[in-house]
Structure 1
């Protein structure tokens, strides 16, 4: 990030950059995590800004995370799509990981839809899309640590995932002949997958799915007053031995397989925001 600037100044600089490339103000933000990135690749009339051209944006180095800001109206409202995210395990601080969310909020986004790929722990199966209704932060860090006294530090996280948006997503799913389970997500730093003992511990804590992202973005989004909806694609079962083990390539492949379903859900949800 640019040295010598406050967080507010860094955010303002990034917002000036994106406003210079897009005349409108998006009301909806969408974060496309692992397995979801291909959805943005079909936006042929969209404005696309590489993260490398936005001051302060972290670079993505993980397969399936293109590192582009895609601005589009294909689903109705002007939507700012983050095609890929940076992760703590890539060496970025949580301040850097969540910087794009701060920029979207300052730009005018009011509702944020966050997606990810997760490992199933209990009550879910690979290939399912589930609704994140609550979370456990086991990343050992919080993106609000060290922020300025003028910012919101003490954030209420009950109903961090907006009840109204959860109901909307369930209604959209029913109209598509689907049932979306509500789950508790646990976030860990990664990049290693869970041991058998770790997966058992997470089940005892009450989590149904586990990921290496999302929670820091949700914390920052809530601190900025955004409504949040979380969707997760279960790509494997955590802590279960299997042929070949788990790979990120398999996560991406599952996303491509389920892309039509995921795009249909996102389209119908965002069109009503």
Structure 2
């Protein structure tokens, strides 16, 4: 008999628990394209490939290592996803968000979801970091469609504060203490993230539509994970690395390699922000 979704989640969590012992994490980090190097700073780390976890698919995207790293970061026990699963890889939404529920089973109550995104707000520049204050789901799908499992969360979860306001305020306070190469403090943008299915980048007309709808950035992840996190009671800090300007009438050709290049340049200030957040959250 095929296992239910909850049974698959429990088996996956049980496998990881068997690999990490009593080092149960309270904070989860999901590291998007080009941002996975932060996991190398986790101390006393246990490394678990996604492919070794029961019922998990394998990440197929360049720039995604496809593994969990569990250990200490800034004195806190964390579980880091180096890479994630995407809807455009052909996985159903419930597979895409399964790691969120697994992390919840392991004890995670705070999660930092990061991504590389195109900036639609004309005040943004490539290399900016944007705190996500809200999102628009344009994927055409939803991770909670189908049978609801009360063990995971309610049938109709509230999304009035999908991205924790207190976490955003903390991130802004922290950013004033982070200095860039030019000596200036880190200035964070804030805005609405539009989640699309991908894998193609958007046309100028589509980007113009999203901007008129109120979007500030666009990408191919994060929205479904946030919905699942709020469903099971995890508080979310979302951070987008703005890797290119996705402005319809000024749109230029874009490649994944260009996205990775800008994300790589942004890594120092991104890492400083996330590490400071991990250190300060919950104090």
Q: Which runs of 5+ in 2 are unaligned?
A: 179-184
Name the SS for the 1:219 alignment partner: helix
Mapped pair 1:10 → 2:8: yes
CA contact (8 A) 2:42 2:72 kept: no
CA contact (8 A) 1:29 1:80 kept: yes
| Aligned with 1:221 (options 229, 245, 248) | 229
**1:138 alignment counterpart:** 138
Q: What is the Cα deviation at residue 214 of structure 1?
A: 0.3
**2:108 alignment counterpart:** 109
Mapped pair 1:235 → 2:237: no
Q: What is the alpha-carbon distance in structure 1 between the residues aligned to residue 41 and residue 173 of structure 2?
A: 26
Q: What is the Cα deviation at residue 107 of structure 1?
A: 0.8
Note closer, same or farther for the CA distance 1:106–1:149 as it changes in structure 2 (3 Å cut). Answer: closer
CA contact (8 A) 1:38 1:256 kept: no
**2:147 alignment counterpart:** 147
Cα shift readout 1:50-96 (whole Å, capped 9, x = no counterpart): 00111122210000111000012032210000110111111001100
- Give me the CA root mean square deviation: 1.3
Q: What is the Cα deviation at residue 4 of structure 1?
A: 0.7
Name the SS for the 1:73 alignment partner: strand
Q: What is the alpha-carbon distance in structure 1 between the residues aligned to residue 5 and residue 251 of structure 2?
A: 44
TM-score norm. by structure 2 comes to 0.92
Q: What is the Cα deviation at residue 185 of structure 1?
A: 0.5
Q: What is the alpha-carbon distance in structure 1 between the residues aligned to residue 262 and residue 243 of structure 2?
A: 6
Cα shift readout 1:128-170 (whole Å, capped 9, x = no counterpart): 0110000000111110000335342211111110111111111
After superposition, residues 120-269 of structure 1 pair within 5 angstroms as: 120-122=119-121, 123-148=123-148, 150=150, 151-176=153-178, 177-238=185-246, 239=248, 240-242=250-252, 245-269=253-277
Q: What is the alpha-carbon distance in structure 2 between the residues aligned to residue 260 and residue 47 of structure 1?
A: 24
Q: What is the alpha-carbon distance in structure 2 between the residues aligned to residue 250 and residue 182 of structure 1?
A: 23
- Runs of 4 or more consecutive aligned structure 1 residues displaced over 6 Å after TM superposition: none
CA contact (8 A) 2:73 2:278 kept: no
Q: Which runs of 5+ in 1 are unaligned?
A: none
TM-score norm. by structure 1 comes to 0.95
My pick for the range that moved more, 192-201 or 39-48, is: 39-48
Q: What is the alpha-carbon distance in structure 2 between the residues aligned to residue 247 and residue 56 of structure 1?
A: 32
Cα shift readout 1:166-185 (whole Å, capped 9, x = no counterpart): 11111111121222121000
CA contact (8 A) 1:118 1:211 kept: yes
Q: What is the Cα deviation at residue 108 of structure 1?
A: 0.6
CA contact (8 A) 1:131 1:183 kept: yes
Q: What is the alpha-carbon distance in structure 2 between the residues aligned to residue 27 and residue 145 of structure 1?
A: 27
**1:82 alignment counterpart:** 81
Q: What is the alpha-carbon distance in structure 1 between the residues aligned to residue 55 and residue 115 of structure 2?
A: 23
Q: What is the Cα deviation at residue 8 of structure 1?
A: 1.4
Name the SS for the 2:280 alignment partner: coil
Q: What is the Cα deviation at residue 42 of structure 1?
A: 4.3
CA contact (8 A) 2:175 2:186 kept: yes
